[in-house]
Chain A
Amino acid sequence: MCANQKYTPGQVVWETTLRCNLKCIHCGSSAGKARLNELSTKEALQLCKDLAVLNAQEVCLMGGEPFLRKDWHIIAKQIRDLNMKLLVISNGYNINKDIISKLVDLDPHSVSTSLDGSTAKTHDYIRGVKGSFDKVMEYISLSKEADLPTTVITTVSKLNLKELPEIQDFLLNKRIAWQIQVATPEGRFAEKFALSKEEYYSVALFIASMKKKYTTKEMPVVGAHCFGYHSQHLPWLGLYPGWEGCQAGISVLSIKSNGDVIGCLSIPESKIEGNIRKRSIIDIWNDPNTFSYTRKFKVEYLGENCKDCKYGETCKGGCTGFSVGFTNKLHNHPYCFYKIEPELLQKTK
């Protein structure tokens, strides 16, 4: 860790390539073709070393589809050799026993994949490629067989909302972590498929209900950071209690496949803080003038949805990516529990 370092990147989320073999309706990155000038193996390995200098705790490789990079396991091994935890998010489409074998050798902290429907019809429609459901089920099965720490991520929209109970039935008692998140209007995702606030709150109730009914051994489930905040009725749906604002640039650091550095991959490119080809990630991270929207947050930044809220100073307007996706503004979460509960629930008292 550097002498002048004020913040530690808990999780680094690294888009290793934008190349993807699926065409997901909700893809916020509009993945498909690789970016021009994606980082070389040599550059990627140096980046790993720099992340270790920053004392990064976890490095999450994602895409696009990370397994489409031929050197993915070389980068992954470097992460492990530098004593950082390795997480990999894949769509599972080109999974094979060789990849599973390499993953086992890497001893990852998490092997995550996306399951967006309980049926092939729904999952394949959302993922844009026929057969993707069968492949992801095979991936989950091979991953569990190999005793890899497996996580399923479900991105909820109007297209799959009603299939959550069946996905729950599939995951129950399998020791598979389940992260539920909400598709937001960005990239390829059309607003017409986005959840209404009533639908959003129903998903929150569904997650809260699971947390109540099951132990974490039976159903280790969380709502991602897009669910919150300061509910007067529901428990915190995330992993650990409390919400102290968007962590982009505070404990979360993201890197695009061309070396661009940004707090979170779901926020606008206008918030890119630099490129590692021009300046090391150590310098970018430790620059007192970067990531000012979270590090130097002021209540004046709050949008109309959050203005005058008593939690505004610490909440900072909820998940930045969700806020931008739905309102085109930072610090302006439109479906915040604290804001929508009085409107949705008043008549039940």
Chain B
Amino acid sequence: MKQDIIFKIYKLGSKLGLNKNEINIMINKQDYIQEQTSFSFGPSWYPGNRYGTISIHDF
């Protein structure tokens, strides 16, 4: 059953341009979280609520 679910993730991922290897790296590599490009700080509140919007100036 669970094998079916991950197969579904691979299949869905492939439709979004992600290959199986890429997905496996993302979900298995422990330091992936640390490697990603993101921000280490921001305002005390965080833009991006579903009924609001972000700005290019926020990046």
Q: B59 to chain A: which residues have CB within 8 Å?
A: 177, 216-217, 220, 239
Q: Mark B18-49, 1 if CB is under 8 A from A, else 0.
A: 10001110111000110111111111111111
Q: A319 to chain B: which residues have CB within 8 Å?
A: 49-50
Expressed in whole angstroms, the Cα–Cα distance for A182 and B38 within the complex equals: 21
Question: B41 to nearest A CB, angstroms?
Answer: 7
A62 on the B face (CB < 8 A): yes
Expressed in whole angstroms, the Cα–Cα distance for A110 and B48 within the complex equals: 12
Question: A155 to nearest B CB, angstroms?
Answer: 8
| Minimal Cβ-Cβ distance residue in B for A11 | B52
Of the listed stretches A127-135, A272-280, A340-348, name the one at the interface; the rest are far from the partner chain.
A340-348
| Minimal Cβ-Cβ distance residue in B for A240 | B42
Q: B23 to chain A: which residues have CB within 8 Å?
A: 205
Expressed in whole angstroms, the Cα–Cα distance for A319 and B48 within the complex equals: 11
Question: A202 to nearest B CB, angstroms?
Answer: 4
| Minimal Cβ-Cβ distance residue in A for B23 | A205
Q: Is the CB of B39 within 8 A of A265?
A: no
Q: Is the CB of A177 within 8 A of B37?
A: no
Q: Is the CB of B51 within 8 A of A112?
A: no
Question: B35 to nearest A CB, angstroms?
Answer: 7
Q: A176 to chain B: which residues have CB within 8 Å?
A: 56
Q: Is the CB of B54 within 8 A of A177?
A: yes
Among B8, B24, B50, B52, which residue has its beta carbon within 8 angstroms of that of A87? Answer: B52
Expressed in whole angstroms, the Cα–Cα distance for A175 and B58 within the complex equals: 12
Q: Mark A314-349, 1 if CB is under 8 A from B, else 0.
A: 000001011000000000000000000101111111
Known contacts A198-B12, A209-B26; A60/B57 CB under 8 A: no
Total chain B interface residues with beta-carbon distance under 8 A: 45
Q: Is the CB of B52 within 8 A of A13?
A: yes
Q: A153 to chain B: which residues have CB within 8 Å?
A: 53
Expressed in whole angstroms, the Cα–Cα distance for A341 and B17 within the complex equals: 21
Q: A231 to chain B: which residues have CB within 8 Å?
A: 33
Q: A118 to chain B: which residues have CB within 8 Å?
A: none
A235 on the B face (CB < 8 A): yes
The residue in B13, B26, B36, B46 that gathers the most chain A C-beta atoms within 10 A of its C-beta is B46
Q: Is the CB of B6 within 8 A of A347?
A: yes
Q: Is the CB of B26 within 8 A of A203?
A: no
Question: B1 to nearest A CB, angstroms?
Answer: 9
Among A57, A179, A203, A238, which residue has its beta carbon within 8 angstroms of that of B16? Answer: A203
Known contacts A10-B43, A241-B39, A251-B44; A344/B5 CB under 8 A: yes
| Minimal Cβ-Cβ distance residue in B for A85 | B55
Q: A240 to chain B: which residues have CB within 8 Å?
A: 38-39, 41-43, 46
A196-220 residues with Cβ-Cβ distance < 8 A to B are 198-199, 201-203, 205-206, 208-209, 211-212, 214-217, 220
Among B3, B13, B39, B43, which residue has its beta carbon within 8 angstroms of that of A206? Answer: B13
Q: Is the CB of A251 within 8 A of B58?
A: no
Q: A199 to chain B: which residues have CB within 8 Å?
A: 12
Residues on A lying within 8 angstroms of B by beta carbon are: 8, 10-11, 13, 28, 57-58, 60, 62, 85, 87, 89, 109-110, 112, 149-151, 153, 161-162, 164-165, 168, 175-177, 179, 181-182, 184, 198-199, 201-203, 205-206, 208-209, 211-212, 214-217, 220, 222-226, 231, 233-236, 238-242, 247-248, 250-252, 254, 264-266, 319, 321-322, 341, 343-349
